[in-house]
Amino acid sequence: MKTFRNDILFRGIFSIAFWFLWIVLPILNAILDGAEKRLEYQMLILPASLLGIPFFYINAEILAPKFLHKGKTGKYFLSLAIFFVVYLTAYVQLKDYLVDIHVVRFYDARTLFPVLFVTGMSTLYGLITLILAQTRKAQQEKSERMLSELAFLRSQISPHFIFNILNSIVYLIRIKSENAEKVTIELSKLIRYMLYESENKNVLLEKEIEYLENYVGLQKVRFGEDADIQIRITGNPTGLAIEPMLLIPFVENAFKHGVGLIKDPFISIDLQILEDKVIQFRVQNKCSTAEEEPKDKDSGIGIKNVRRRIELLYPGSHSLELGEKNGIFDVYLRLILKKSEK
């Protein structure tokens, strides 16, 4: 869209500037200089000068797009040469008809220059519009590739999410927990959010936070006192929008690798909503160094997925740091969000 606006802006500015220099400026110069003969000449050849307008745009908007933009340079220059001869002949005939040869003789030597000038400028105009068109096409293709990649990345969220939560429900059913029904109902809410909200380009930050809190609540039911799970949210999320399902993969990763064979597991989730549409999100979990811990073949897919989504959607407005130190895996994400359109 930005390139399209640049294209329109260039066409408008170029056209106004060129025709001002070509038609208006010579007349103004003659008036300011007080050169009556030159002014008389300029007014007499004005129709001949106006003849350059259709030639200019036929070359720039028809010949150039039809041949030059498609790489048919031979056909373009052949067509241009033919049209140049036609334009030159028409210009000379019209000027000779309009101007008495005795008005000012020295202009006759410059008959070829105006025609060459209009030809050159219209060709330049056509070349620049070609570059703008190619740039616009490249950006459109890049945007389409990005949308396709995002659609693919989003499609990977669903099975990953369902797999993790179903594990929780299976566990509760096995231990005959009275919370199994409650968890199933809460799960339906999460899946509803995932199915309907994740299709949107952005969602309200409040909804993403609600989803995050519900997910953590389900995990607290599952693990009970076996894991120390803390979630802290500060600041005002009103009016902010975020890519749906963007924060949850880091939390899922913490639960996947922060419990199990780990002794005294803990998971800490901290979301701060600051001024200037900035959020800081930190997730920490205790790591296991046990060699006997089974390796999940899908381990890391969720993190790679969300990292790529952040790179695509928040270029230049994010900071993501992940690493393990002293047995603690730490994720720190800083994002500059946008205002909600709702």
Token pair 């913490």: residue: 254
CATH architecture type of domain 156-339: 2-Layer Sandwich (3.30)
Instruction: Determine contact, residues 243/309, Cβ cutoff 8 Å.
Output: yes
Q: Is the pLDDT higher at 44 or at 73?
A: 73
pLDDT tens by residue, 178-235: 777 777 888 888 878 877 776 778 899 999 999 999 889 888 877 778 889 999 999 9
pLDDT at position 103 is 44
pLDDT of residue 281 exceeding 90, the answer is yes
Q: Where are the domains of the chain?
A: 2-141, 156-339
pTM for the complete prediction?
0.59
Phi, psi of 103 (to 5 degrees): -60, -55
Phi-psi map region of 140: left, alpha, beta (phi>0 left; psi -120 to 50 alpha): alpha
User: Counting beta carbons within 10 angstroms of the beta carbon of residue 182, is it exposed (0 to 12), middle (13 to 18) or buried (19 or more)?
Assistant: middle
Token pair for 92: 């000379």
pLDDT at position 234 is 96
N-terminal to C-terminal alpha carbon distance within the chain? 22
DSSP output for 125-163 = HHHHHHHHHHHHHHHHHHHHHHHHHHHHHHHTHHHHHHH
Q: What residue type is 313 in one-letter code?
A: L
Q: Is the pLDDT higher at 65 or at 246?
A: 246
For 104, the 3-state DSSP assignment is coil
Instruction: Determine contact, residues 114/280, Cβ cutoff 8 Å.
Output: no
pLDDT tens by residue, 48-70: 667 778 888 888 888 888 887 77
Tell me the CA distances in angstroms from 321 to 111, 231, 324, 330, one per residue in order: 69, 19, 10, 8
Q: Is the pLDDT higher at 167 or at 258?
A: 258
pLDDT at position 45 is 58
pLDDT at position 209 is 95
Using pLDDT thresholds of 50, 70 and 90, give the confidence band for residue 43. low
